[in-house]
Amino acid sequence: MINNIIYLDNNATTPLDERVLAAMMPYLSERYGNPSSIYSFSQKIKMEIEDARDKVKDIINADEKDKLIFTGGGSESDNLAIKGIAFANMNKGKHIITSSIEHHAVLNTCKYLEKFHGFEITYLPVDEGGIIDIDFLNKSIREDTILITVMYANNETGVIQPIEDIGSIAREKGVVFHTDAVQVAGKLTIDVKKLNVDLLTMSAHKFYGPKGVGALYVKKGTKIHPLIHGGGHEMGLRAGTENTAGIIGLSHAFELSYENIEQEQLREKKMRDRLEKEILNKIPDVIVNGNKDKRLPNTLNVIFKYVEGESILMLLDSEGICVSSGSACTSGSLEPSHVLLAMGRPHELAHGSIRFSFGRFNKEEDVDKVVKVLPGIVKRMRDMSPFGRGKDEFWKT
């Protein structure tokens, strides 16, 4: 990348891969036709969209008759899945099960249905490692449960949920199951058949594709309402002139991600693990969040006790290092991370987490740079804080 920043926020968004941009360019210039038009100029574009769809379906091992709906992003896919299932099946019941650590696109959609459309929501608790309680799930399923929606991996901690187990339970009880796989798509292999999911969300800009385009996998026979009504685009499930460049970009980016996925996982894991080790070695009073055995290979979420996350983030920023504190879309809000709170972290600690997330364009030097400046930054902020070793004992952990 051209910037001389060290970008360690790949769970927030990723750079657009140059190869993906190259694949998109024709659709941003001479191939501008509306895919719904019936002259050949447009029909060729329509066919390329269908090829793009088939490619993605192949990679996630979807059935030929399953649907893959292109949307305007991960949030839209989540909303389409949840509201679409809720409204199409409310005659059968109005109970939905989700978890307490979902992304806001899921959480706030559930809350909306609860508040304004008479649905009842069960929020599954998680353990200290951030993994949902399967027993609780089992006990929560009722006659009128129409949907279970649990994310595949958490964006803040990278913790991977037991989707396959949830899927078997859901299938056994005949409940529709949706998973938000935004943080998994492009990072781990996905097999919708093995997972027993009925719906699965992905978002292109998390795997080196363009922003503003996502997809929702919908298993054949799933009864669902569109979120965006209108023309018959996307098999009648998502109206609107197709974002041709975006769709081609999503598909190409998705394909590229799986070209040598295992190698890339190892490469990122190595950097992540070294950063983790160095931080624990060099900085006292650090807590690593999330079950270490069930974590995305690229994500590290740590708490530096006695200081707030934002300050560290901003001092790293002055060193040209981009990381996040809480999830990107809640920063600017005051609430501490709902994910860390759900994992039992006290309020002050939840407020102080920093997430490092590696990606395709990171190098080992990036770790070196962080390790060089981070201890000083943390020390400086701790000195400025009224708490910490030898100071007031404000909290205990």
Partner 1 sequence: MYSEKVMQHFKNPANWGKIENPDGVGKVGNPVCGDVMYIYIKVENNIIKDVKFETFGCVAAIATSSMATELIIGKTVEEALKITNKAVAEALDGLPPVKMHCSLLAEEGIKAAIEDYMKKQKP
Ligand X SMILES: Cc1ncc(COP(=O)(O)O)c(C=O)c1O
Which residues form the interface with partner 1 (CB under 8 A)?
Answer: 38, 43, 46, 306-308, 310-311, 314-315, 318, 332-334, 336, 347-348, 351, 383-387, 391, 394
Count the Cβ atoms, other than its own, within 10 Å of residue 230.
11
Helix (H) or strand (E) holding 97: strand 95-99
The residue from 10, 14, 75, 301 that contacts ligand X (CB under 6 A) is: 75
Cα–Cα distance measured from residue 255 to residue 204, given in angstroms and rounded to the nearest whole number = 11
| Residue 3 partner contact from ligand X, partner 1, its own copies, none using kind-dependent CB cut-offs of 5 to 8 Å | its own copies
For 212, other C-beta atoms within 10 Å of its C-beta total 15
Residues between 315 and 374 that touch ligand X (CB under 6 A): 329
- Report whether 355 contacts 300 (CB < 8 A): yes
**Residue 234 lies near ligand X (rule: CB under 6 A):** no
Task: List the catalytic residue out of 63, 329, 368, 391.
Answer: 329
Residue 384 touches which of partner 1, its own copies, ligand X, none (Cβ within 5-8 Å per kind)? partner 1
Nearer to ligand X, 103 or 272 (CB): 103
Find the binder of ligand X among 52, 56, 101, 105 (CB under 6 A): 105
Q: What is the length of the chain?
A: 397
Nearer to ligand X, 43 or 385 (CB): 43
Closer to ligand X by CB, 122 or 330: give it.
330
Which residues, at least 6 apart from 355, have a Cβ–Cβ distance to it below 8 Å? 9, 11, 156, 157, 299, 300, 301, 323, 324, 325, 326
242 and 266 in contact (C-beta within 8 Å)? Answer: no
Q: How many residues bind ligand X (CB under 6 A)?
A: 17
CA distance 216 to 74: 8
Q: Does 240 bind ligand X (CB under 6 A)?
A: yes
| Residue span binding ligand X (CB under 6 A) among the ranges 74-82, 191-199, 290-298, 376-384 | 74-82
Largest separation between any pair of C-alpha atoms in the chain = 77
Q: Does 183 engage in binding with ligand X (CB under 6 A)?
A: yes
- Closest by alpha carbon to 82, among 162, 214, 194, 179? 179
Piece in contact with ligand X (CB under 6 A), picked from 179-187, 280-288, 301-309, 339-347: 179-187
Neighbouring residues of 323: CB distance < 8 A, sequence distance ≥ 6: 8, 9, 313, 316, 354, 355, 356, 357
Annotated active-site residue 322? The verdict is no
Of 166 and 381, nearer to partner 1 (C-beta) is 381
Question: In the complex, what is the shortest distance from the CB of residue 129 to its own copies, in angstroms, rounded to a whole number?
Answer: 25
Q: How many CB atoms lie within 10 A of CB 256?
A: 19
Which active-site residues does the annotation give? 329
Site residues (CB under 6 A) for ligand X?
73-75, 78, 103, 105, 151, 155, 180, 182-183, 203, 205, 214, 240-241, 329
